[in-house]
């Protein structure tokens, strides 16, 4: 297990498709092996844009969780939960809103962009402006060290870092933290002495290894609560203690998975194959894919570079099959239906285990609810620890 704490989320806005699978979910499945992961259904975020008709949110939540599980998320390893089932998100959102300057939110590129693009919705609301504040609360509640997101979400994680810094700046300095930390080290005995030595090595010689070791010793200490651990972290670096931790972005590379028409796969373009698409429908959709427009007749030569089908081969096919397409297409040696056949087989084969895993949950909806209940419980526990610190910092009753 690495020391990383990972949080990410998805808005429930409809069925997931192969773009989500290749772009996001495979990445999540890999991360759950090595880190403490929290994966969240961001239903409150969905509400910021779908507030006029929230029915799509309700109907998408369970399908989405089943898609996650079918992709291989393991509820024994990762906490899978629903944002609105953890009221601490709303609570921290409110607390953070006190210190967040309006100008930071108005400057977020996605803000104006979405307002002008989604003309069928009135997004001139307080809730929508606060979207990045809510997202910051999601991240900071779990003291996440890494946030896997796509490129479009980077500005939101940046704002999260700025909000954390500002919050710590206002409330993060205990006036007597140095005394408190020294007393704590003394209480810790031998380990405390070791930490003090490593701290000196770091502060005097910039020894990064010593810093790491000191952190590890603090993390591994029993009988030291999380508030005290924070205090020690701050002390080791002479920074005062921080209440909220700045996360790093872990950029999820754009998936190579294109849509059926060659554009990005997206529900709004109507060019998707869903993660649990009926095999007949997979076949029908791939057969209907547009090809190199210059290839009108079977006898016309084609150019894979100008063909969306080739992009699918890049994701799904072996070197051998790709070579076959590359040599046969330009001399009209194969027809487009021939070319599409191995893709139909690959997509259907890829979906087979996804269907199988999903079936268990479709047969037993109570099991899915149980998983989410358990995940939300785990999330609430972690979130409450942070909220206690935040409340104390703001002078609110704990």
Q: Least distance (Å) from ligand SF4 to the CB of residue 215? A: 53
How many residues belong to the site for ligand TRP (CB under 6 A)? 13
Token pair listed for 38: 């929290």
Angle between the 131-141 and 365-394 helix axes, to the nearest 10 degrees?
90
Token pair listed for 95: 């607390």
Among 295, 344, 358, 368, binds ligand SF4 (CB under 6 A): 295
329 binds ligand SF4 (CB under 6 A): yes
User: Residues 3-34, buried b or exposed e (16+ Cβ, 10 A)?
Assistant: ebbbbbbbbbbbbbbbbbbbbbbeebbebbee
Among ligand TRP, ligand SF4, none, what does residue 339 contact (CB within 5–8 Å per kind)? Answer: ligand SF4
Q: Least distance (Å) from ligand SF4 to the CB of residue 296? A: 10
* Site pattern 111..150 for ligand TRP (x: CB under 6 A): ------------------------x--xx-------x-x-
Sequence-ordered list of residues with C-beta below 8 angstroms from that of 302, at least 6 positions apart, any chain = 291, 292, 294, 295, 329, 330, 332, 336
User: At 140, is the secondary structure helix, strand, or coil?
Assistant: helix
Residue found by looking up tokens 């409450």 in the block: 384
Among 6, 210, 339, 344, binds ligand SF4 (CB under 6 A): 339
265 binds ligand TRP (CB under 6 A): no
Residue 120 φ/ψ, nearest 5 degrees:
-80, -5
42 binds ligand TRP (CB under 6 A): yes
Contact 2, 45 (CB under 8 A): no
260 binds ligand SF4 (CB under 6 A): no
24 binds ligand TRP (CB under 6 A): no
Residue 342: which H helix or E strand, with range? Answer: helix 336-363
CA distance 292 to 304: 7
Among ligand TRP, ligand SF4, none, what does residue 64 contact (CB within 5–8 Å per kind)? Answer: none
CA distance 102 to 61: 31
Among 10, 198, 307, 358, binds ligand SF4 (CB under 6 A): 307
Only segment of 200-208, 254-262, 290-298, 359-367 that touches ligand SF4 (CB under 6 A):
290-298
336 binds ligand SF4 (CB under 6 A): yes
CA distance 103 to 107: 6
Angle between the 109-117 and 154-171 helix axes, to the nearest 10 degrees?
130
Sequence-ordered list of residues with C-beta below 8 angstroms from that of 70, at least 6 positions apart, any chain = 275, 276, 354, 355, 357, 358, 361
380 binds ligand TRP (CB under 6 A): no
User: At 120, is the secondary structure helix, strand, or coil?
Assistant: coil
302 binds ligand SF4 (CB under 6 A): yes
Please identify, using beta-carbon distances, which residue of 20 and 276 lies nearer to ligand TRP: 20
241 binds ligand TRP (CB under 6 A): no
Among 5, 6, 11, 21, binds ligand TRP (CB under 6 A): 11
Among 5, 6, 7, 164, binds ligand TRP (CB under 6 A): 7
291 binds ligand SF4 (CB under 6 A): yes
- Give Cα 238 to chain centroid, integer Å: 32
Q: Least distance (Å) from ligand TRP to the CB of residue 256? A: 19
User: At 35, is the secondary structure helix, strand, or coil?
Assistant: coil
Nearest by Cα to 174 from 162, 186, 160, 184: 184
Among ligand TRP, ligand SF4, none, what does residue 139 contact (CB within 5–8 Å per kind)? Answer: ligand TRP
How many residues belong to the site for ligand SF4 (CB under 6 A)? 13
Please identify, using beta-carbon distances, which residue of 13 and 311 lies nearer to ligand TRP: 13
Please identify, using beta-carbon distances, which residue of 96 and 260 lies nearer to ligand SF4: 260
Among 148, 304, 342, 375, binds ligand SF4 (CB under 6 A): 304
Q: Least distance (Å) from ligand SF4 to the CB of residue 257? A: 17
310 binds ligand SF4 (CB under 6 A): yes
Among ligand TRP, ligand SF4, none, what does residue 36 contact (CB within 5–8 Å per kind)? Answer: none
CA distance 219 to 209: 15
Which stretches of the chain bind ligand TRP, using CB under 6 A? 7-11, 42, 45, 135, 138-139, 147, 149, 153
């Amino acid at each position: 297990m690495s020391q990383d704490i990972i949080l990410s989320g998805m808005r429930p806005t409809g069925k997931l498709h192969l773009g989500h699978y290749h772009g996001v979910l495979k990445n999540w499945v890999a991360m759950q092996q090595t880190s403490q992961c929290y994966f969240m259904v961001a239903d409150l975020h969905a509400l910021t844009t779908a507030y006029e008709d929230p029915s799509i949110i309700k109907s998408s939540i369970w399908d989405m969780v089943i898609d996650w599980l079918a992709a291989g998320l393991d509820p024994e390893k990762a906490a899978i939960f629903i944002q609105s089932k953890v009221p601490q998100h709303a609570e921290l959102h409110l607390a953070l809103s006190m210190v967040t300057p309006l100008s930071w939110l108005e400057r977020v590129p996605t803000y104006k962009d979405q307002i002008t693009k989604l003309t069928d919705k009135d997004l001139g609301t307080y809730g929508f402006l606060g979207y990045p504040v809510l997202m910051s609360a999601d991240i900071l509640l779990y003291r996440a060290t890494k946030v896997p997101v796509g490129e479009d979400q980077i500005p939101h994680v940046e704002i999260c870092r700025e909000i954390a810094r500002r919050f710590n700046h206002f409330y993060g300095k205990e006036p007597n933290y140095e005394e408190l930390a020294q007393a704590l080290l003394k209480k810790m005995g031998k380990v405390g002495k070791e930490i003090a030595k490593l701290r000196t090595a770091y502060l005097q010689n910039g020894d990064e290894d010593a810093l790491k070791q000191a952190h590890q010793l603090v993390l591994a200490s029993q009988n030291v609560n999380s508030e005290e651990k924070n205090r020690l972290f701050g002390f080791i670096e002479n920074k005062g203690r921080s209440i909220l931790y700045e996360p790093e972005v872990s950029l999820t590379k754009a998936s190579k998975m294109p849509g059926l028409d060659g554009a990005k796969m997206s529900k709004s373009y109507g060019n998707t194959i869903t993660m649990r698409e009926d095999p007949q429908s997979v076949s029908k959709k791939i057969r209907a894919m547009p090809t190199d427009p210059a290839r009108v007749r079977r006898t016309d030569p084609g150019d894979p570079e100008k063909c969306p089908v080739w992009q699918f081969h890049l994701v799904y096919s072996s070197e051998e099959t790709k070579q076959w397409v590359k040599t046969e297409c330009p001399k009209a040696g194969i027809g487009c239906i021939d070319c599409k056949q191995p893709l139909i087989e690959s997509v259907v084969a890829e979906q087979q285990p996804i269907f199988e895993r999903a079936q268990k949950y479709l047969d037993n909806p109570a099991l899915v609810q149980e998983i989410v209940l358990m995940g939300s419980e785990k999330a609430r526990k972690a979130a409450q620890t942070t909220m206690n610190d935040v409340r104390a910092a703001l002078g609110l009753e704990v």
